[in-house]
Amino acid sequence: MFKRYFEKIWVQNLALLALTGLVVYYFAFIFEFKYDFDWAVFVVEGQYGHMGHLMLNGINTTLTITLYSAAIALAMGTIFGLARLSSFKPVYWFATCYVELFRNTPLLIQLFFWNFALPYAFPEEIRFKLFDMNFEFWCATVGCGIFTGAFMAEIIRAGIQSIPKGLLEAAYSSGLTFPQTLRKVILPLAFREIIPPLGSEFLNNMKNTSLAMTIGVSELCWSMTEVYSLTYRTFEAFSVATLVYLALSLSIAGILYIVNERLKIMPRDRITPLRRVADILFWPLDFLGRKLEYVFWYFRKSPDQRTVSPFKQFLNRLGKDLTKALKFLFVAAIAYILYMVVMALFHFNWEIIGANFKTLLIWRFPEGDETEFCFGLGGLASSLLMAAISIAGSFLIGLAVGMGRTSKNRVFRIPCLLYIELIRGVPLILVILWFYQAILEFVFKVDVQAFWAATIAMTFFFGAYIAETVRGGIENIPAGQVEAAKASGLTYLQTMRKIILPQALKQMLPALVGMFIAAFKDTSLAYIIGVMELTRAAYAINNRIMIYPFEIYTTVAVLYFVFSYFMSLYAKRLERKLSPETIRIEM
C-alpha cells in the first residue's frame, strides 16, 4: 500500500519537497551557526583594499590559465598520442615515458619541481630572462598543460586504436587513399570515441589550475585565501569560490553535452530539439568543412598517373632522406638527454637523500609526541594510509550513492545526483579547505586533527567518483537479469545484493584500483592544511636545508611514481584477468 503510493511521481516530489523543507527548517531555526554572515565584504572597500576586485582578478587568472593550459594539453596529447602509435621505436619509448611519468606523479609535486628545482638547471642569464616573463604564471600554465596532456595522449591513442582493422581494410579495398581513409573513416570514428573522455579531462584541467596558488599565482583559490586571511570571512570566501568553480564546471559540461549531441548518430526523423540547437551552433564549422572538401577535391591525385616525373622523384627522395635525418637527430637528442640525466644523477648529493630518506618514509614515527597523529607518523606511510582509509570509506559512500543514482525513485535519485555533481564540480583542494575550516567545525561541531579532516574530505570527494563507477557497473548488467530476478520474486535489495552487485563489483575492480592511485596522488593536497604527508615532509626538509631542492623533489617524485606505477600495472593485469573474453575456463 505504502510502497504503491511511493511509486507515484507526485508523492515522490512531495517527499523531496518535505525533505528540503526539513533541511531548511533545521538550518534556519534549530541549528546554531554561531557565525554572522557578511556578504558586504565583496562590495565594500576595506582597509586592505577591495575584496570583490581581488576575487574578479582571481577569476580572470583562473580562466586564462585554464584556456592556455587546455590548448597546451590538447597539443601535447595529440602529438604524444600519435607518437605512442609510431612504429619507430625510439619515438614510441619517449612518448611512453612521458605518459607514464606524468600520469603517475602528483601535479603538485610536478609544479613544485618546475617552480623550485628547474630554474637551477639553467645558467644564470637564462634564468633571469625566464624570471622576467611572469615565471610563476607560465610555470603553472605549462605544468598543468603537460600534466593533462599525458592523460589526453592515452585517450587519443585508445580512440584511434579502437577503430576495427576490418574497416580500414574495407576502406582500402574500396579504393580510398590513406588521406581519404583518415578523413572519412578514421578521424570521424575516433572523434566520437575520444570526445567524451577528452571533455572530462578539460574539466579536470580547469579544476587542477587551483593548484597554481601553491606557487604564488594569484588565481581564484589564491584570491579566496587572501580574502579570508585578510577579512576573516571564511564562509563567504569559500562560498563564492565554490560557486564560481561550479559555474565553470557546469558551463564546460554544457558545452560538452552539446558537442556530444552533435556527434550522436540519429535518424533524420527522430532528431531532438537539442540536436537542432547543436546543429545551428556548429553551422560555421560544418560550412568550413564542406568548403574544405571542395578544395580537397580539386587537389586530389588523379588516379591514372602511373609515371613519376624526375622532379617528383627528387622530391620523394628528399622527403625520405629528411625523415631519416630527423630520425637520427631524434635518437641523438634522446641520447643527449639520457646522458644529461645520468650526469645529473651522478652529481646528486646522495648524502642528503640518504640522510632524509627515513624521514620521507615515516617522518618521526615512533618518536613523535603523543598528541601528534599516530606518534608522528607521516611521509609516504601516512600518504598510503590516508589513501587506503579514504578509498575504503568512499567505497561505502559510492556503493550507496551509486545505487541511489540508478534508482527509479526520485527521492533517492535526485539527492544522490546533486551530491555527485556538486562534489565533482569543485577542486579537491577546495573540498579539503571546506571540511577542515568550515564544515567539520561549524556544521558538525567536531574538532579533529588535520590528518582526519583531510581523510574525511577525500572520502567525500572520492565517494562521488566511485558512485559514478558503481553506476556504470550497475548499468552494464543486462536488463534481462533484473527482470528475471523480479519475476522470481526477489525484492530490490535482494536483487542488488545477490545478482547485480557481485557482477558489477567484479567489473569495477580495475577502476577501483585506479581510483586508489588517484587518491594516493591526491593526498599530496593535504599539504595545504599542514598534514605531514610525503609532500609536506619534503617541504619541511627543503625548508631546513634550502639548497638541495633538486635532490629532494626528485626523490619524492620517484617515491610517488614507483607506487602509482606498480599499482597501475596491477590494475592492468587485473583488467586482463577479469575480462570474460580472455579467461580460460578450466574443468
- Residues near another protein, by CB under 8 A: 22, 26, 30-32, 34-35, 47-49, 116, 119-120, 124, 127-128, 131, 135-136, 213-216, 218, 222, 225-226, 228-230, 232, 234, 359, 363-364, 367, 369, 371-372, 376, 437, 441-447, 450, 529-530, 539-540, 542-544, 546-547, 549
Please tell me the distance from the alpha carbon of residue 469 to that of residue 183, in angstroms, as a whole number. 34
45's enclosing H/E stretch is none
Q: Decide whether 147 or 363 has the Cβ nearer to another protein.
A: 363
Closest to another protein by CB, 139 or 466 = 139
Question: Measured in whole angstroms, how far is the alpha carbon of residue 188 from the centre of its chain?
Answer: 25
CB of 227 to another protein, least distance (A): 10
C-alpha cell at 490: 526477489
Cα 334 from Cα 89, distance rounded (Å): 12
Least distance (Å) between residue 271 CB and another protein: 41
Q: What is the largest CA-CA distance in the chain?
A: 90
Q: Write the single-letter amino acid at 343.
A: M
CB atoms within 10 A of CB 43: 9
- Closest to another protein by CB, 199 or 549: 549
Shortest distance in whole angstroms from residue 244 CB to another protein = 19
Closest CB to another protein among 88 and 116? 116
The least distance separating another protein from the CB of residue 35, rounded to whole angstroms, comes to 8
For another protein, the closer of residues 423 and 429 by Cβ is: 429
Cell 554572515 belongs to residue: 37
Question: 3-state DSSP call for residue 192?
Answer: helix
> Which residues, including other chains, have CB under 8 Å from residue 237's CB and lie 6 or more apart?
224, 225, 227, 228, 231
How distant is the alpha carbon of residue 76 from its chain centre? 16
Residue 37 vs 120, nearer CB to another protein = 120
Decide whether 28 or 30 has the Cβ nearer to another protein.
30
Q: Residue 363 in 3-state DSSP? A: strand
User: Closest approach of Cβ 403 to another protein, in Å?
Assistant: 14
Residue 143 and residue 553 in contact, taking contact as beta carbons nearer than 8 Å:
no
CB of 62 to another protein, least distance (A): 16
Closest CA to 378 of 527, 515, 513, 514: 527
- In Å, what is the CA distance from 270 to each residue of 267, 282, 491? 6, 19, 36
Minimum CB distance to another protein smaller for 341 or for 446 = 446
What's the closest the beta carbon of residue 213 comes to another protein, in angstroms? 7
With beta carbons less than 8 A apart as the criterion, state whether 110 and 245 touch: no
Cα–Cα distance measured from residue 141 to residue 459, given in angstroms and rounded to the nearest whole number: 29
What minimum distance in Å lies between the beta carbon of 467 and another protein?
Answer: 18
- For another protein, which is the closer residue by CB, 195 or 417? 417
| HSE value, Cβ hemisphere, 13 Å, CA-based, for 512 | 22
Measured distance CA(521)–CA(101) in Å, rounded: 13
In the three-class reduction of DSSP (H, G, I as helix; E, B as strand; rest coil), residue 456 is classed as helix
Residues, the chain, total? 587
- Residue 464 CB, shortest distance to another protein, in Å, is 20
Residue number, 15 or 186, with CB nearest to another protein: 15
Q: Nearest Cα to 85, choosing from 155, 148, 168? A: 155
**Least separation in angstroms between CB 141 and another protein:** 16
Q: How far is the CB of 49 from another protein (least distance, A)?
A: 7
Residue among 159 and 549 whose Cβ is closer to another protein = 549
| Contact (CB, 8 A) for 431 and 456 | no
Integer angstrom CA distances of residue 425 from 415, 433, 572:
15, 15, 28
